[in-house]
Amino acid sequence: MGRWEPDARQRLEQAALELFAEQGFAATTVPEITARAGLTTRTFFRHFADKREVLFAEDQAAEAAERLLTTAPPDAAPLTLILDGLRAVATERFEPKREHLRALRAIIRTDDGLRERELHKHAALREAVRTGLLARGLPSTTAALLAEICTTLLFVSVDEWLDRDDDRPLADIIGDTLTALRAVLKI
Amino acid sequence: MGRWEPDARQRLEQAALELFAEQGFAATTVPEITARAGLTTRTFFRHFADKREVLFAEDQAAEAAERLLTTAPPDAAPLTLILDGLRAVATERFEPKREHLRALRAIIRTDDGLRERELHKHAALREAVRTGLLARGLPSTTAALLAEICTTLLFVSVDEWLDRDDDRPLADIIGDTLTALRAVLKI
């Protein structure tokens, strides 16, 4: 990987996001992205399988969830594990990239193929959480419901956070969303 | 539409399900399906866009949800509306087709493209519920959460119902799933 271009990956991401926003995802080619970034297409393909993956390659939520559920103490309460995991991800991975994630969301919304890829990403996280909870000995319906709760809390909260124009941290909004979820279910 | 083959659609569905189960989804061609059903490929394409749509064309959950949310009294409680709608769909549309739905699920699980199509179906229902609730004046986060609850209750319950070997009705299992959802959210 690019010992001569230490920031190649980030430059390619930046160039791709700019071009997708300016001229649309479908109309943008890999050579245009590399020209904007001042890099070669060969460098591009060392980092990404195709232009779509520039938007998704950073995502490792499913792997992180699997790791967390495998290494957590066996007696930890599952919902607490999920909330702690979500809050950590929110603070470490989402919070510093709010503008980037806003641009990403805007582009994904313009293209059916990107929306499908996004659904796939959500499903992969849900499935990782479900499988991780099954491995911890939870009954199948409980594991499935907690996995749904995890993705619901994350993605509804991220949308709300990206919509807002104040500085309420995503980790706090996740707590708000849980409160709202309990309220609509009248608990 | 097939005035000479009044049950063409059903025969094609049956033939397709059999062949997908016997030899796999990817390996099955439209001419094989029509040969098994004793019909022409021309008839096939009057009913379905492609072999994948044989498995999904029946699904009108998103349209049904939209209709329900548009026509319900404005003061109806949203969660009650959703539960009543789910129970009606369960009894009228799912309950009579349990074996068919089991076969369908088994086939969908074998193929990545079919699983993606299934995710798309879930997303379409979720989006229809969310939009319908927004049109009823609900705040955006509440609408998003209720839409997630709706699809979670339906699809987790359907999976549980298809896994079971007793005769507990799907409508009752949906109630059980709601009880379980409330229980896992109490920390």
Domain locations along chain B: 8-54, 61-185
Is B181 within 8 Å of chain A by CB?
yes
User: Which three-class secondary structure string do you get for B42-107?
Assistant: HHHHHHCCCCHHHCCCCCCHHHHHHHHHHHCCCCCCHHHHHHHHHHHHHHHHHHHHHHHHHHHHHH
**ipTM rounded to 2 decimals:** 0.85
Q: In this predicted model, which residue has the larger pLDDT, A60 or A77? A: A77
Alpha carbons within 13 A on the beta-carbon side of B80: 6
pLDDT tens digit sequence for A139-154: 999 999 999 999 999 9
Q: Which amino acid is at B153?
A: L
| First and final C-alpha spacing in chain B | 55
**How distant, in Å, are the alpha carbons of B122, B125, B144 from that of B55?**
14, 17, 28
Is B158 within 8 Å of chain A by CB?
no
Is B77 within 8 Å of chain A by CB?
no
Look at residue B179 in the predicted model and tell me its pLDDT: 96
Is B156 within 8 Å of chain A by CB?
yes
Nearest CB to A79: which of B120, B146, B184? B184
Nearest CB to B160: which of A80, A119, A141? A141
Nearest CB to B141: which of A80, A140, A180? A180
Rounded to an integer, what distance in angstroms lies between the CA atom of residue B153 and that of residue A7?
45
Same fold, A8-54 and A59-184: no
Rounded to an integer, what distance in angstroms lies between the CA atom of residue A28 and that of residue B139?
36
Rounded to an integer, what distance in angstroms lies between the CA atom of residue A123 and that of residue A121?
5
Q: Which chain B residue is nearest to residue A122, measuring alpha carbons?
A: B119
Supply B10's token pair.
Answer: 């059903």
Rounded to an integer, what distance in angstroms lies between the CA atom of residue A117 and that of residue B169?
35
**Looking at domain B61-185, which of 1.10.150.120, 1.10.357.10, 3.30.2310.20, 2.60.210.10 is its CATH number?**
1.10.357.10
Q: Which residues on chain A are in Cβ contact (under 8 Å) with B181? A: 145, 149, 185
Superfamily of domain A59-184: Tetracycline Repressor, domain 2 (1.10.357.10)
Are the beta carbons of B145 and A181 separated by less than 8 Å? yes
Nearest to B89 by CA among B133, B125, B114: B125
Is A76 within 8 Å of chain B by CB?
no
Q: Which chain B residue is nearest to residue A130, measuring alpha carbons?
A: B156
Supply B146's token pair.
Answer: 């209720």
What's the mean pLDDT when you consider all of chain B?
92
Rounded to an integer, what distance in angstroms lies between the CA atom of residue A108 and that of residue A174?
22
User: Could you tell me which CATH class the domain B8-54 is placed in?
Assistant: mainly alpha
Judge whether B33 and B19 are in contact, CB under 8 Å.
yes
Q: Which chain B residue is nearest to residue A159, measuring alpha carbons?
A: B141
Look at residue B56 in the predicted model and tell me its pLDDT: 87
Q: Which amino acid is at A1?
A: M
Are the beta carbons of B152 and A156 separated by less than 8 Å? no
> For residues B73, B74, B75 and B80, what is the CA-based torsion angle, rounded to 10 degrees?
60
Look at residue A3 in the predicted model and tell me its pLDDT: 53
Rounded to an integer, what distance in angstroms lies between the CA atom of residue A30 and that of residue A28?
7
User: Which three-class secondary structure string do you get for chain A?
Assistant: CCCCCCCHHHHHHHHHHHHHHHHCCCCCCHHHHHHHHCCCHHHHHHHCCCCCHHHHCCCCHHHHHHHHHHHCCCCCCHHHHHHHHHHHHHHHHHHHHHHHHHHHHHHHCCCHHHHHHHHHHHHHHHHHHHHHHHHCCCCHHHHHHHHHHHHHHHHHHHHHHHHCCCCCCHHHHHHHHHHHHHHHCCC
Is B125 within 8 Å of chain A by CB?
no
Q: Label residues B99-124 b or e (16+ Cβ within 10 Å = b).
A: eebebbeebbeebeebebbbbebbbb
Nearest CB to A119: which of B79, B123, B186? B123
Judge whether A32 and A18 are in contact, CB under 8 Å.
no
Per-residue pLDDT at A112 exceeds 60 = yes
pLDDT tens digit sequence for A3-60: 566 799 989 999 999 999 999 999 999 999 999 999 999 999 999 999 999 998 766 7
Look at residue B3 in the predicted model and tell me its pLDDT: 53
Rounded to an integer, what distance in angstroms lies between the CA atom of residue B162 and that of residue B102?
6
The long-range contacts involving A180-183, CB below 8 angstroms and separated by at least 24 positions, are A180/B141, A180/B142, A180/B145, A181/A149, A181/A152, A181/A153, A181/B145, A181/B149, A181/B185, A182/B185
- The nearest CA of chain B is from the CA of A124 a distance in Å of 11
Mean pLDDT per block of 10 residues along chain B (187 residues) reads 71 94 95 96 94 84 89 93 94 93 94 90 94 95 96 96 96 97 89
Q: Which residues on chain B are in Cβ contact (under 8 Å) with A159? A: 144
Binned at pLDDT 50, 70 and 90, residue A2 comes out as very low
pLDDT tens digit sequence for A83-100: 999 999 999 999 999 998
